[in-house]
Amino acid sequence: MKIFVPGPIYVRNEVLQEMANPMTFSHRSKEFTKLLNDVTPKLQKLLYTNNKVFISTSSGSGLMEAAIRNCVRKKCLNLVCGAFSDRWRQMVLECGKESNAIEVEWGRGIGPEMVREELEKNSSEYDALCLTHNETSTGVMNPVEEIAEIMKDYPGITFMVDAVSSMAGVKIGVDESGIDICLASVQKCFGLPPGISVFSASDKALEKSKTISGRGHYFDLQAFLKYYEKGQTISTPSISHICALNKQMDFIFEEGLDNRFKRHKEMADIARGWANKNFSMFPEKGFESITLSVINNTKALDISQINQKLKEKGKMIADGYGKIKGQTFRIAHMADLQVEDVKELLDDLDGIIKLIEEGD
């Protein structure tokens, strides 16, 4: 079955097989250190970074909290454009930190001019900024590179990026953009089952974390660093996931990063073209995601009914999320899905929608 939902996504059989292998070593063994030392440089290459890259046996949400606990001292500026960027802001408050938000209507993107205007007036208030690169609820992809250029004028503000539904599907130049924390889950563009997440951390972020109290235990960056230097993880990891990640990284480089990013863009263009012909896109023009399409449900389709019929063909799409559930639906085109898969899905949808409209 190939599911076109924004995570968990379709996983190729060879990667699944890596997770089925028996446990033959522990997480404190030389074999595990070799595994970790094999996969880490591959992640650095993916992110175009010399920063340290860590693996956490948690969801991406765990890393969002880790970023706050380790890198927000006084007040965070949250860029809010949907459910998941708003969740990150709520985490700031729940961790006992102060937050202010640049908040836009769902479907709109965060333009660099908005960030520039706020920081020119109030930069002294903030020591951290949270940007959701790809807002999975609205299908908005924010211009991380343009915002990064502004952030270079404010080196005292830790620049943290949620790339949960874009990393490994879109080029993210961590070093070039000066991103201090860049985090993602693996069940989206990486094309793995859910269970682990990855993040890069700059030396600046790691040094800052030393000075912040209340970092907790499981997500303490200083503990991550201590065990990283031993070639280990802070606590027992999902070794099976890391084996699968290592295998998948080999597949990713076999395809080639440029080819992978080009394929994601081509799938997005096809999905958008279909959406604009039959419905309309929900995101503001120019801010449409490359890894998933959020489409206005202008025909008031029952997505559960659509999925019942798609299931017979081994496929699934996603309803809208949060307050735009029912108003929109979502088609993911990420990870190991191919152009031909997207075309086949859209052909199936055309046939199903026609039958529904004819009353069959």
pLDDT in tens, the chain (360 residues): 899 999 999 999 999 999 999 999 899 999 999 999 999 999 999 999 999 999 999 999 999 999 999 999 999 999 999 999 999 999 999 999 999 999 999 999 999 999 999 999 999 999 999 999 999 999 999 999 999 999 999 999 999 999 999 999 999 999 999 999 999 999 999 999 999 999 999 999 999 999 999 999 999 999 999 999 999 999 999 999 999 999 999 999 999 999 999 999 999 999 999 999 999 999 999 999 999 999 999 999 999 999 999 999 999 999 999 999 999 999 999 999 999 999 999 999 999 999 998 876
Domain boundary among 254, 280, 310: 254
Q: Are residues 166 and 292 in the same domain?
A: no
Residue 303 inside a domain? The answer is: yes
By residue range, what is the domain housing residue 285? 256-352
Q: Please report, for residues 24, 26, 151, 233, the alpha-carbon distance to residue 32 in angstroms, rounded to integers and kept in the order given.
A: 10, 7, 37, 10
Q: Are residues 189 and 277 in the same domain?
A: no
Q: Are residues 33 and 156 in the same domain?
A: yes
| CA–CA separation, 89 and 66 (whole Å) | 13
The two structure tokens encoding residue 240: 């099976």
Residue 169 inside a domain? The answer is: yes
Q: Are residues 234 and 262 in the same domain?
A: no
pTM, whole model, 2 decimals? 0.97
Q: Is 228 strand, coil or helix?
A: helix
Residue 360 inside a domain? The answer is: no
Q: Are residues 98 and 176 in the same domain?
A: yes
Using left for φ > 0, alpha for ψ between -120 and 50, and beta otherwise, residue 163 falls in alpha
Q: Are residues 134 and 112 in the same domain?
A: yes
What CATH number does the domain containing 332 carry? 3.90.1150.10
Please tell me the predicted confidence (pLDDT) of residue 358.
86
Domain boundary among 229, 254, 279: 254
Residue 4 inside a domain? The answer is: no
Domain boundary among 188, 222, 254: 254
How many structural domains is the chain composed of?
2
282-322 pLDDT, tens per residue?
Answer: 999 999 999 999 999 999 999 999 999 999 999 999 999 99
Residue 62 inside a domain? The answer is: yes
Q: Are residues 32 and 86 in the same domain?
A: yes
Q: Please report, for residues 194, 250, 327, the alpha-carbon distance to residue 320 in angstroms, rounded to integers and kept in the order given.
A: 21, 33, 7
- DSSP secondary structure, 19-74, as one string: HHSPP-S-TTSHHHHHHHHHHHHHHHHHTT--SEEEEESS-HHHHHHHHHHHH-SS
Instruction: Name the β-bridge partners of 315.
Output: 2
Q: Are residues 243 and 284 in the same domain?
A: no
**Do 288 and 268 meet the contact criterion of CB atoms below 8 Å apart?**
yes
- Which DSSP symbol is given to 284? P
What CATH number does the domain containing 134 carry? 3.40.640.10
Helices (H), 152-231: 174-177, 203-210, 221-228
Name, in order, each residue with C-beta under 8 angstroms of 280's C-beta and a sequence gap of 6 or more.
Answer: 295, 296, 298
Q: Are residues 249 and 262 in the same domain?
A: no
Residue 10 inside a domain? The answer is: no
Residue 9 inside a domain? The answer is: no
Residue 242 inside a domain? The answer is: yes
Q: Are residues 286 and 217 in the same domain?
A: no
Q: Are residues 260 and 250 in the same domain?
A: no
Q: Are residues 74 and 207 in the same domain?
A: yes
Instruction: Name the β-bridge partners of 132.
Output: 162
